[in-house]
Structure 1
């Protein structure tokens, strides 16, 4: 009971801060300091979110599909790349700088090229999500592999363990914490990457919806879909935390031991 109470009370400051921000937003709109067409009231945004929810959900189905496919491909590529880079030093030296360079290019600059090459379908959106989500996961895995205790590796070698056994029983479990840290970042980036790609062309998706309401100067609906994207990103991060706790039960045991 005490732990649950501590968990609830730890979230109170964040809730209070969020309420204060919304209250300040409402007061600014009511006072008329900012015109309504520039900053709609949170009440109008909430009404727009409720009234347009069926349409937003329809577009969200396409965006989430693109984000899911891109994230899955990004995880697979990151796992293969990080594992090969950890296993072979030459590959690490050759490809790690290229990975860093890809992150210096703004996604908004890559998106038009992808649309030009792949058309206005789902392919360029998935490709941009892959580019966006690949790096945090790959770097997290690579750092996790390198953080393994070398004495433990030597001990397993002395006991006759193969390289695959060392990887399966020691390196990969040790890298899981960093993997999920990178996955949490990539999960939130996945939706944003898909939306950015949809801005530049497409027929369905939250980015397409945002472009249409922006052209119609319906900024209450614009803010509504932004809030919806934030909620989706937070839910994805929560899902990653749940999967992490299920995959790494020893982390929860260690935390409980420290609290005791």
Structure 2
């Protein structure tokens, strides 16, 4: 077991600040490099566009995309709201189901032996390929898109949660067994805290996958959303609208990922690896 040292306690008393953290608690050492990279990338984009080295029918100038944001803000916001609702709903449903099923499987050797191999095999199946079938079953609109996202995020979270529950320290289980602790008490005090680092690793992957799956599913099973907007814009060669929708989707993905990271930092006491405490 790891121990908490005096310097660790002093750091906690000082507010738990980390190296490179600003007065508002912002980790500038992590934030500045990607921000500067994006600024440099946009500047390079602008220079190459002005020099005519990038064809406008492939990538319009940054000014054209920016003008699209200001001119069609309401349209982008409406489609972004639909995609955000689908992605977040699927993200929550899929991960919640994964956590519950992992807990059930961890306490049932028969279920684990019967279904766990299929969960491993499912990683090789392109879930988005089932979108047409889900559209037939659920109809067009929100339900099939949410279902695609939920299924896509379910399996990474389920597999990681199973590994996390299995990683619990046996010594803790033996100690609680001698104290006549119930199965629920062992789950709450040992298994769930041990599984948190694994779960948040899966949540970060799921946050990146959720919007991608929602947008791809919208190509087939929706008539609204950023994915639908990308398809329609491409068909009518409205490239500034297409790239504006892509940028909005990227920003929304980063926001969801940031929320997961913030939740992980807030629960650091339970999500830290053993050597980090």
Question: Same fold, TM exceeding 0.5?
Answer: yes
State how 1:103-114 maps to structure 2 within 5 Å.
103-114=123-134
Could you tell me how far 1:39 is from its partner in structure 2?
Answer: 1.4
Q: Give the alignment partner of residue 62 of structure 1, picking from 52, 70, 82.
A: 82
- Report the RMSD for the aligned CA atoms in angstroms: 2.3
> What stretches of structure 1 of length at least 5 have no aligned partner?
none
Could you tell me how far 1:189 is from its partner in structure 2?
Answer: 1.6
Q: Does 1:178 align with 2:195?
A: no
Q: Are the counterparts in 1 of residues 65 and 243 from structure 2 also a CA contact under 8 Å?
A: yes
Q: Does 1:32 align with 2:52?
A: yes
Separation in 2 of the partners of 1:94 and 1:52? 52
| Structure 1 partner of 2:143 | 123
> What stretches of structure 2 of length at least 5 have no aligned partner?
1-16
Separation in 2 of the partners of 1:220 and 1:13? 27
| Structure 2 partner of 1:16 | 36
Could you tell me how far 1:89 is from its partner in structure 2?
Answer: 2.4
Q: Are the counterparts in 1 of residues 144 and 221 from structure 2 also a CA contact under 8 Å?
A: no
| Structure 2 partner of 1:167 | 187
Separation in 1 of the partners of 2:109 and 2:270? 31
Cα displacement string for residues 34-91 of structure 1 (whole angstroms, at most 9, x for unaligned residues):
3201111122112212322211111122212222222222122201221122112232
Separation in 1 of the partners of 2:51 and 2:41? 15
Separation in 2 of the partners of 1:20 and 1:131? 37
Q: 1:89 to 1:150 in 2, by over 3 A?
A: same
Q: 1:20 to 1:95 in 2, by over 3 A?
A: same
What is the TM-score of this pair, normalised by structure 2? 0.84
| Structure 1 partner of 2:242 | 222
Q: Give the alignment partner of residue 232 of structure 2, picking from 209, 212, 232.
A: 212
Which stretch shifts more, 124-133 or 12-21? 12-21
Paired residues, number? 256
Separation in 2 of the partners of 1:186 and 1:9? 25
What is the TM-score of this pair, normalised by structure 1? 0.89
Larger % of helix: which?
1
Give SS of 2:237's match.
coil
Q: 1:32 to 1:238 in 2, by over 3 A?
A: same
Could you tell me how far 1:251 is from its partner in structure 2?
Answer: 5.6
Could you tell me how far 1:115 is from its partner in structure 2?
Answer: 1.4
Separation in 2 of the partners of 1:22 and 1:60? 22
| Structure 2 partner of 1:241 | 261
Which stretch shifts more, 198-207 or 22-31? 22-31
Could you tell me how far 1:33 is from its partner in structure 2?
Answer: 2.3
Q: 1:13 to 1:225 in 2, by over 3 A?
A: same
Give SS of 1:36's match.
coil
